Chains A and B, each alone.
Chain A
């Protein structure tokens, strides 16, 4: 504690200071020590657990399996990658998966924007809180529960068909559209929350200023709101895109026969681990390319 008593106690002898004070003094004098202290634990986790296992996975991709015993044989071969690049089914699946991930991302963004505008600029505080809760509520439920809910909703005698039947329509059933719908539903909060937060941070008078200078609603949205939302949308899209790329359970539950990269990897994990490893390089590459593309637009600088 700060000592405010007069001079006789203003310079206490070094030895009487508590140990915590000495540590603080040490840290104060050595900024590098401070840095290491803060970063060592997260770095150990990052390097030890995440990067090492990722490296192991990549190494495995160059190994082979004994076709009879399914035993993994270490070595170096490009056959797994060759296999992927020459098998049309694998290529189609890869393209389908990336396409689904992009579509899910676009759908999430398209839904998050009007909802965010309504919540941040139109809704009363009560409505706003209710909607914020409604967005986050699915995050509290387990992943499987949500996928199951979608499976039941989209089933032949599920509520979607039941609601549409009076109009002579029917739901998408199980298949690719159902996978897109389910993934959009699953990852929507990851897009909606950053977009909503960013919208709330736009000063209201920027909207007034745009209107004052003659811009109508669409122009304001396009020239003022969207550019200011870009960082949030990119942050959200990183979630929706990469989570969609890796998903296999949704495809299994509502995808009928639809194959995704995730389902392929899942099938091969036990039968042919090196092929599974090589397949999992594809989404890693896709995310890498996505980040690169974003970087090219210069949007990452504002993140």
Chain B
């Protein structure tokens, strides 16, 4: 009783060469009363390493599951290389997924796991074995082909999941929190490896993560999700240096957000301003040049190895954070010290997307 539902070969859709790898048009997803994703438009270019970043419950995983075909959008269209796939089943889409907890088949060996998709496509046995070996070699696991998933470490399982999806040469590879279950050191190592693999195979990677470091390190572009919508799409530099909204500024690393009233008072600009803690400098004496400055009192000193963060209370009770790298000579203040904060005007960034609050 051979399955007839899975096609032996998937015929490429009639796509124009210029179409993006993935297009979402007005995509929304409701679970009963809850709106998980609201009216989303997004284009992901071919060969891009694209991250969907956001806190849990922001809708990023739902979007990924809709691209994979596990969820049907309530409204809108999903296009893959310009061809509509909105209503297609997961097994009819040239998209593969690396699942958050890997979802390896526990009763199959590593080689059988990696070969599963090829076997479904009825690839001849020798060819199948050759491709499996090649895929396992790419993730440096060729020596563990006969093991069961339960005999592997977390990092090794992650590689098997990656090999199992990559061996099918999908148009798009979806990765759901791929490094979330790994410890820090392994995660950093895998980030580099993942990027190298992506460059090597040239497949579009779409990655879901709640880890801003991961998104900034890995991605060509990042979409920042918040409450079912996208707050900003851009390169890591763009979203970090020029956040479009307060949420983006706050979610991507620490940011000092200065309300318009206070900004008016301190800097003479009635705008919602943000400045990264690492852009603020501290000194005990007032700066000699004409650089802008604000005075305050250090209320907390947080040492974290490569850097020290000072919490400084300004006039009127507002606190800001200033992070100084280790070895910076201006960085030896103690709690209760009066300090002068200085910055270059170009580091002060007005957040455009946020409404200016009325006083």
Where the two chains meet, the residues of A that have a C-beta atom closer than 8 Å to any C-beta of B are 203, 205-206, 208-219, 222-224, 227-228
Contact = CB atoms under 8 A, between A and B. Distances in A.
A224 B105 contact: yes
26 contacts: A205-B100, A205-B101, A206-B103, A206-B105, A208-B70, A208-B97, A209-B104, A210-B116, A211-B90, A212-B69, A212-B165, A213-B91, A213-B164, A214-B168, A215-B116, A216-B3, A216-B4, A216-B5, A216-B6, A216-B91, A218-B1, A218-B5, A219-B3, A219-B6, A222-B1, A224-B105
B359 to A, nearest CB: 51
Interface of B: 1, 3-6, 68-70, 89-91, 95-97, 99-101, 103-107, 116-117, 120-121, 164-165, 168
Nearest to B174: A212
B206 to A, nearest CB: 14
Nearest to A230: B107
Contacts of A218: 1, 3, 5
Contacts of A219: 3, 5-6, 120
Task: Determine which residue in A209, A210, A222, A227 has the highest number of CB atoms from chain B within 10 A of its CB, and name it.
Answer: A209
B5 A228 contact: no
A166 to B, nearest CB: 36
Contacts of B96: 212-213
A209 B105 contact: yes
Nearest to A202: B106
A211 B93 CA distance: 10
Contacts of B3: 215-216, 218-219, 222
A214 B97 contact: no
5 nearest A-B residue pairs (beta carbon): A216-B5, A213-B117, A219-B3, A209-B103, A205-B103
A209 B105 CA distance: 9
Could you tell me the dominant secondary structure of chain B's interface residues?
loop
B8 to A, nearest CB: 10
A152 B78 CA distance: 58
Nearest to B164: A213
A205 B99 contact: yes
Nearest to B120: A214
Contacts of A217: 5
Nearest to B112: A223
Contacts of A208: 68, 70, 90, 97, 99, 103
A227 B120 contact: no
B105 A212 contact: no
A138 B135 CA distance: 52
A206 B107 CA distance: 11
A212 B1 contact: no
A212 B102 CA distance: 12
B152 to A, nearest CB: 16
Given A213-B116, A218-B1, A224-B105, 10 more contacts: A205-B99, A205-B100, A211-B69, A212-B97, A213-B117, A213-B165, A215-B116, A216-B4, A216-B91, A222-B1
Contacts of B90: 208, 211-212
A214 B103 contact: no
A228 B107 contact: yes
A214 B101 contact: no
A228 B104 CA distance: 13
B103 A203 contact: yes
A214 B91 contact: yes
A228 B70 CA distance: 22
Contact of B120 (A203, A205, A206, A215): A215
Nearest to A226: B107
A292 B136 CA distance: 38
Contacts of A214: 6, 91, 117, 120-121, 168
Contacts of A203: 101, 103
Nearest to B106: A228
Contacts of A205: 99-101, 103
A89 to B, nearest CB: 39
Given A214-B168, A228-B107, A209 B6 contact: no
Contacts of B1: 218, 222
A84 B291 CA distance: 110
Contacts of A227: 107
Contact of B168 (A209, A213, A222): A213
A163 B21 CA distance: 59
A194 to B, nearest CB: 17
A176 B104 CA distance: 45
B9 to A, nearest CB: 11
A218 B89 CA distance: 14
Given A218-B3, A222-B1, A211 B101 contact: no
A206 B104 CA distance: 7
A28 B69 CA distance: 56
A222 B6 CA distance: 14
A111 B117 CA distance: 30
A212 B68 contact: yes
A216 B1 CA distance: 13
B260 to A, nearest CB: 47
A206 B164 CA distance: 13
A112 B16 CA distance: 49
Nearest to A302: B107
Contacts of A210: 105, 116
Contacts of B106: 228
A213 B70 CA distance: 12
A217 B1 CA distance: 12
